[in-house]
Amino acid sequence: MAISQTSGPTLHQPIIGTTGSKSTGPSSVTGQFGGTGVKVASFKPTVPPKPKTFDRAPQPLPGRNVEPRTPDYRLTRLAERAPGVETSATLKGRAGDPKADKSFGIFGVHKMSTGYKDMLAKMDDVHQFLSDDAHEMSMPPHYRSPIKSYTDSGRLHELENNLDFALASANKYMKGSSHSHKTEIGQVREQIKAEQKLVESLLSQMKKGGTFPPDRSLSEIMDFARLGFTLDNMHDLHGLTPDQARHMVENNLLDRNLTPTQLKTYSDAGFNRGEAILLEKSGIGLEGGLLYRKMDIPIRPDTIVTSFDDTTRTSGMTKLGSGAFNTVYSVDYDTGGGDYSAVFKPLSPPDPTRTTKVEKGWVAARTGIDPYNPQIALRNVATCAVAKKLGFDVVPHTEIGLRGTSMGGGELGIVMSRAPGDPAAKTDPKLFERGDVRREIVKLQLLDHLVGQGDRHGNNYFIAIDKNGQAVVTGIDNDQCLGKDLHDPNGIAQGTSPLDKGFRGRKMPPLVDTDMADMIRGMSDTDLADCLKGLKPEEIRAAKDRLVGLKVHVADLQMKNRIIKPDQWGQDWVGAEFRNENSYVGRDYERALQRTNQII
């Protein structure tokens, strides 16, 4: 793809997201829209938002020009805040696990966290019903249940009942005087209310003659409804998923804000229509796009500058420190929700002459990361995406930001939320005896095995106890991961030979809990690949191999009865399983004891 340039530094032929051959672009799926065959790029964003609206009425759906282009990331970010009713695992990831019941022997059992446990159970009921419905609709029609509840209206009423029970549980919890998770449960309550309104709207449409499109699961119907599609609209979307439909509508709406002259300016500079839309909506424009080309970063919804630039910055950039290879800065932003404390790490451009190494780390070299074009931004963004997909809140939220102006002197960098607490290398030994701390550290270790992060040591992950008394573990410096030559998840373990002595990791952990096992088992190759967009095909293949290795490890732990309940991490026998060679917990607990002279 050639770039026309009239001034500025010499720009080299861009090859987006790779140093190898040009990408052929995303694969496509074929479907029917209003009786016309269309192709829509395959993708899997998180959760769809409602379409953006404008002053004039949109063109009717069947008459719109359907093109596979990239949606505005700001709409995608809004969608992440409206996911329907979250899962119980996600809620526990935010609010922590419920307290275990206390046994007093012959005197009985004292129930703990009863309201919280009931809320989790009711959320599970909602998702179990949707899962069962999806399974039912995946079968041929003659195998489906003939009972009344599997009529379209019956399915909606069944979902309505589950939502009613969940709302009653949430309301009861919010009335309690001593409950400690009211903020989180209050958010779930609003999610439930929003879902109830969607159900009411769908039932109202059915009373007026609306029908479900054939073979759509109720989960898909609800996804379409969140986008603002009516039942009649849904019949026009044959072969399209709700996410693909959102993709289509957003781009047709956004397209109307760009003039032909603007589009030609971008096209002349080598940018396609989707990239032009993203650059315009982000506010960094053509000059910002040239910065992306210079850094060889693909312009996509998950990589475009959105919230972090000089227009939202509320403080100066204060040098925070220098790692082995990078200098980072402390900075505050106002993203609309108050001050956001972050770290800004400037990105270094790749060297197309392949004479000066950009990434000099031992782990990067050993695992097959290109030292001249290491794609550090993509690796950090991808690690954050994988952690989010697993429900493991153990790495900073990561986006690409801009320092200075894109009109001249601008600099792209990684913006990460500040990690609270102290480095593990400076943490009190007693914290490693806490069950919630152990649990979060094991989540980080599992994530590192999956993304091939072989440089995890006691100074690049932090441990804190938040205001609610919950453990927070955050792994930083996720530059040296996702290399193409690391296929075994145990390959990050430190050894004694020249081939492995530079690694900092450990063998896979001796225990996981049921939630972790479920998340590992539930991640598919497609899920993982969706998180790694822009990386080289061979890097994605290596990650898939590591996922297989993790699943084999979980299966082995299951056979050995080494999958525990989430509330068992604090038990003494669990702590005894962790040793220096098999876990971060064992390694860093031992070092903490040595540091405080409690062992020699």
Is the pLDDT at 411 greater than 50? The verdict is yes
Query: What's the confidence (pLDDT) of residue 139?
Result: 74
Is the pLDDT at 179 greater than 50? The verdict is yes
Task: Name the domain boundary from 181, 212, 238.
Answer: 238
Query: What's the confidence (pLDDT) of residue 22?
Result: 40
Query: What's the confidence (pLDDT) of residue 417?
Result: 94
Q: Domain check: are 208 and 356 in the same one?
A: no
Task: Name the domain boundary from 216, 238, 260.
Answer: 238
- How do beta strands 563-564 and 512-513 pair? parallel
Query: What's the confidence (pLDDT) of residue 270?
Result: 94
Is the pLDDT at 8 greater than 50? The verdict is no
> What's the pLDDT band for 140 if we cut at 50, 70, 90?
confident
- Whether residue 56 is contained in a domain is answered as no
Query: What's the confidence (pLDDT) of residue 407?
Result: 58
Query: What's the confidence (pLDDT) of residue 176?
Result: 83
- Whether residue 74 is contained in a domain is answered as no
Q: Domain check: are 231 and 355 in the same one?
A: no
* C-alpha distances in Å from residue 164, one per residue of 167, 170, 171, 448, 538: 5, 10, 10, 40, 48
Q: Domain check: are 223 and 355 in the same one?
A: no
Helices (runs of H) and strands (runs of E) counted in the chain: 19, 14
- Whether residue 466 is contained in a domain is answered as yes
Written as six digits, the tokens of 328 are 């980072």
Residue 481 amino acid letter: C
pLDDT tens-digit series, residues 185-198:
988 998 999 899 99
Reduced DSSP (H G I as helix, E B as strand, rest coil) percent helix, strand, coil of the chain, to 5: 45, 10, 45
Residues in the chain: 600
Q: Give first-to-last CA distance, the chain, whole Å.
A: 61
Query: What's the confidence (pLDDT) of residue 568?
Result: 97
> What's the pLDDT band for 37 if we cut at 50, 70, 90?
low
- Whether residue 447 is contained in a domain is answered as yes
Query: What's the confidence (pLDDT) of residue 10?
Result: 41
* Residues paired with residue 402 on neighbouring β-strands, in sequence order: 412
Query: What's the confidence (pLDDT) of residue 565?
Result: 96
Query: What's the confidence (pLDDT) of residue 278?
Result: 87
Closest CA to 271 of 308, 309, 246, 298: 298
DSSP E strands, 178-312: none
- Whether residue 12 is contained in a domain is answered as no
The whole-number average pLDDT for the span 258-265 is: 84
Is the pLDDT at 384 greater than 60? The verdict is yes
Is the pLDDT at 508 greater than 80? The verdict is yes
Top pLDDT among 352 and 404 is at 352
| Rounded-to-integer distance, Cα 276 and Cα 265, Å | 9
Written as six digits, the tokens of 98 are 């419920």
Query: What's the confidence (pLDDT) of residue 339?
Result: 80
Written as six digits, the tokens of 53 are 């609206």
Is the pLDDT at 145 greater than 70? The verdict is no
Closest CA to 490 of 515, 475, 509, 477: 509
- Whether residue 517 is contained in a domain is answered as yes
Lowest mean pLDDT, pick from 72-81, 127-136, 158-167: 72-81
**CA-CA-CA-CA torsion for 455, 459, 460, 465, nearest 10 degrees?**
140
Is the pLDDT at 225 greater than 90? The verdict is no
User: How many other C-beta atoms are found inside a 10 Å radius of the C-beta of residue 336?
Assistant: 8
The whole-number average pLDDT for the span 377-404 is: 95
pLDDT tens-digit series, residues 458-475:
999 999 999 889 999 999
Q: Show the CA angle centred on residue 422, arms to residues 421 and 427, nearest 5°.
A: 120
- Whether residue 540 is contained in a domain is answered as yes
Q: Domain check: are 93 and 223 in the same one?
A: yes
Top pLDDT among 306 and 245 is at 306
Residue 443 amino acid letter: K
User: How many other C-beta atoms are found inside a 10 Å radius of the C-beta of residue 10?
Assistant: 6
The whole-number average pLDDT for the span 15-30 is: 43
| Rounded-to-integer distance, Cα 313 and Cα 306, Å | 12
The 3-state secondary structure of 22-81 reads CCCCCCEEEEEECCEEEEEECCCCCCCCCCCCCCCCCCCHHHCCCCCCCCCHHHHHHHHC
Lowest mean pLDDT, pick from 329-338, 363-372, 403-412: 403-412
> What's the pLDDT band for 50 if we cut at 50, 70, 90?
very low
pLDDT tens-digit series, residues 355-367:
999 999 999 999 9
Query: What's the confidence (pLDDT) of residue 75?
Result: 37
Q: Domain check: are 232 and 362 in the same one?
A: no
Is the pLDDT at 330 greater than 70? The verdict is yes
The whole-number average pLDDT for the span 82-89 is: 80
Q: Are residues 159 and 218 in contact, defined by beta-carbon separation less than 8 angstroms? A: yes
The whole-number average pLDDT for the span 42-48 is: 45
* C-alpha distances in Å from residue 3, one per residue of 7, 299, 402, 437, 588: 12, 15, 22, 50, 50
Q: Domain check: are 370 and 498 in the same one?
A: yes
Task: Name the domain boundary from 211, 238, 265.
Answer: 238
**CA-CA-CA-CA torsion for 87, 509, 503, 495, nearest 10 degrees?**
-170
- Going by C-beta distance under 8 Å and a sequence separation of 6 or more, which residues neighbour residue 455? 361, 363, 477, 479, 480, 481, 503, 504, 505
Is the pLDDT at 324 greater than 70? The verdict is no
Query: What's the confidence (pLDDT) of residue 325?
Result: 60
The whole-number average pLDDT for the span 147-175 is: 87
Query: What's the confidence (pLDDT) of residue 60?
Result: 46
Is the pLDDT at 405 greater than 90? The verdict is no
Query: What's the confidence (pLDDT) of residue 72?
Result: 36
- Whether residue 249 is contained in a domain is answered as no
Q: Domain check: are 436 and 581 in the same one?
A: yes
> What's the pLDDT band for 134 if we cut at 50, 70, 90?
confident
The whole-number average pLDDT for the span 203-229 is: 87
Lowest mean pLDDT, pick from 28-37, 118-127, 234-243, 504-513: 28-37
Instruction: Give the residue numbers spanning the domain of 128.
Output: 80-238
Domain count, the chain: 2
| Rounded-to-integer distance, Cα 512 and Cα 510, Å | 7
- Going by C-beta distance under 8 Å and a sequence separation of 6 or more, which residues neighbour residue 132? none
Is the pLDDT at 406 greater than 70? The verdict is no
Q: Domain check: are 354 and 233 in the same one?
A: no
